[in-house]
Amino acid sequence: MLEDLKRRVYEANLLLPKYNLVTFTWGNVSEIDREAGIFAIKPSGVDYDKLTPEDMVLVDLKGNKVEGKYNPSSDTATHVELYKAFTKIGGIVHTHSSWATSWAQAGRNIPCYGTTHADYFYGEIPCARCLRGAEFNEYERNTGILITDMFKERDYEAVPAVLCKNHGPFTWGKDGDEAVHNAVVLEEIAKMAFRCEEMNPHLSQAPQDLQDKHYFRKHGENAYYGQEKCPENIK
């Protein structure tokens, strides 16, 4: 069932160790088939070098396992909440990558200090508060709800990432591959932002005009970065 989806998610998960975003089994990728209302996700606690496409677990949007010999990732309930609220996304990544997680553990948003950040994220990367009290009774589900509540007044497509205080980052995209891509970029800008503050403690965020220029040249109807598709009449 949904063999192509499981294969894509398997391949996307293998990108996490390739790009040094995970240690041991500290991360997961999922991707959803919106028509079927089912997503595939990494099984919980299985080493990356032992994974196969068949090991990916299929889950519905009520959090029920549909298919798979393993239990799904312990973060599955968070993925469910994000897919339900962020209806235009197709893939989600969670890691404990060291630089982004350092900002999360510090409870800080990542400011936009330059064009690398602005090319991918429109404004700072927000850090959600830590869960409290009874919220820990449904920890993973409430983590997802906390994230989606933060984005009620934010554009989740323009800022496809969040930090969870004392925890780590989540990123998303149109599919699993794009979500991984955003996770790689997030880790790099987290590293650069830390270094910038070390070198200049009085640093200000990049000018808004510069942020606008770099974000909108890659995103939106007037974007012009990259190559347009070649017209059919041109060989």
Which residue is catalytic, options 19, 55, 119, 139? Answer: 119
Task: Report the amino acid identity of residue 227.
Answer: Q
Please give the C-alpha separations between residue 211 and each of 117, 118, 127, 160, in angstroms, as whole numbers.
8, 5, 20, 16
Sheet arrangement for strand 127-128: 65-67, 57-60, 38-41, 27-33, 91-95, 168-173, 161-164, 127-128
Tell me, yes or no, if 119 is annotated catalytic: yes
**In terms of Cα–Cα distance, which of 192, 187, 194 is closest to 22?**
187
Residue tagged active-site, from 4, 155, 212, 225: 225
Q: Catalytic: 215?
A: no
Number of helical (H) and strand (E) elements in the chain, helices listed first: 7, 8
Q: What angle, rounded to 10 degrees, do the helices at 76-85 and 139-150 form? A: 30
69 in Cβ contact with 55 (< 8 Å): yes
Indicate which residues carry an active-site annotation. Answer: 119, 225
